[in-house]
């Protein structure tokens, strides 16, 4: 019985020693923990962690700023594209490529009038701020000319006949006043061409068609 107890005691001591040996080996393998660090080493470690956290916060803030800048740039790009399309449509409209609609005046001319007189009338309207012009529903663009002798005038190979209409989009009050003022265009026509009648009518809406003329330059090349 005593021999068996001794054997058990020896075995227990051996197990405890083995466990202690394993723990010691693991501790040596893992290296020193925080408990083994001095106060100065712990202070340096905390300082390094704070510095790294500050760097991460700065980088995060920079990324947020870049993201906001990209979003703003994208929004500006969409706005710019929309504005460019609007500007392009406006330019195409007023140059005659597109149809346009707006307030203005209609000038009805009846009687034998030479083409040069109609050209003078059109230039007067242009100088007065007309943004778009048509004669007998033919849109006028660069190169369009009303020509011919009295009673046989035409525009863009379209005969005008004895009665035709000039339409002008712009400020109707200004254009009307320009033509009907004392000593203005209509007064001059009445004095020089008594057989010609000119009536100016302000209108709230004029639908003006696009030109049928090809506007592609033959000699000039546009630069973008």
Q: What are the tens digits of pLDDT across the range 126-151?
A: 999 999 999 999 998 887 888 889 88
98 burial level (CB within 10 Å; 0-12, 13-18, 19+): middle
Give me the residue spans of the domains in the chain. Answer: 36-95, 100-208
The Cα 189–Cα 117 span in angstroms is: 8
Superfamily of domain 100-208: Protein of unknown function DUF881 (3.30.70.1880)
- Contacts for 98 with CB less than 8 Å, ≥ 6 apart: 89, 92, 210
The Cα 76–Cα 79 span in angstroms is: 5
3-state SS of 153-205 is CEECCEECCCEEEEEEECCHHHHHHHHHCCCCHHHHHHHHCCCCEEEEEEEEE
Question: Out of 37-41, 122-126, 205-209, which region has the weakest mean confidence (pLDDT)?
Answer: 37-41
Residue 203 predicted with pLDDT over 90? yes
Distances (CA, A) of 41 to 29, 68, 141, 151: 20, 41, 85, 108
Q: What are the tens digits of pLDDT across the range 30-80?
A: 445 556 667 776 676 667 777 877 777 888 888 888 888 777 766 766 556
């Amino acid at each position: 019985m005593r021999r068996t107890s001794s054997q058990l005691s020896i075995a227990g001591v051996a197990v405890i020693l083995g466990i202690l040996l394993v723990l010691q080996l693991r501790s040596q393998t893992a290296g020193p923990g925080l408990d083994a660090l001095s106060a100065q080493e712990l202070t340096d470690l905390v300082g390094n962690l704070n510095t790294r956290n500050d760097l991460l916060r700065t980088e995060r803030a920079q990324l947020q700023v870049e993201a906001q800048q990209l979003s703003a740039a994208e929004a500006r790009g969409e706005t710019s594209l929309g504005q460019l399309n609007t500007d392009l449509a406006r330019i195409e409209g007023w140059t005659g490529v597109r149809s346009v609609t707006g307030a203005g005046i209609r000038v009805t001319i009846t009687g034998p009038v030479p083409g040069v007189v109609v050209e003078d009338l059109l230039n007067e309207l242009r100088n007065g701020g007309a943004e778009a012009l048509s004669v007998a529903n033919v849109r006028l663009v660069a190169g369009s000319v009303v020509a011919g002798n009295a009673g046989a005038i035409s525009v863009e190979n379209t005969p005008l006949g004895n009665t035709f209409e000039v339409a002008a989009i712009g400020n109707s009050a200004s254009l009307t006043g320009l033509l009907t003022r004392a000593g203005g265009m209509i007064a001059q026509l009445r004095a020089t061409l008594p057989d010609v009648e000119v009536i100016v009518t302000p209108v709230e809406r004029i639908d003006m068609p696009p030109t049928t003329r090809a506007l592609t330059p033959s000699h000039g090349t546009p630069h973008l």
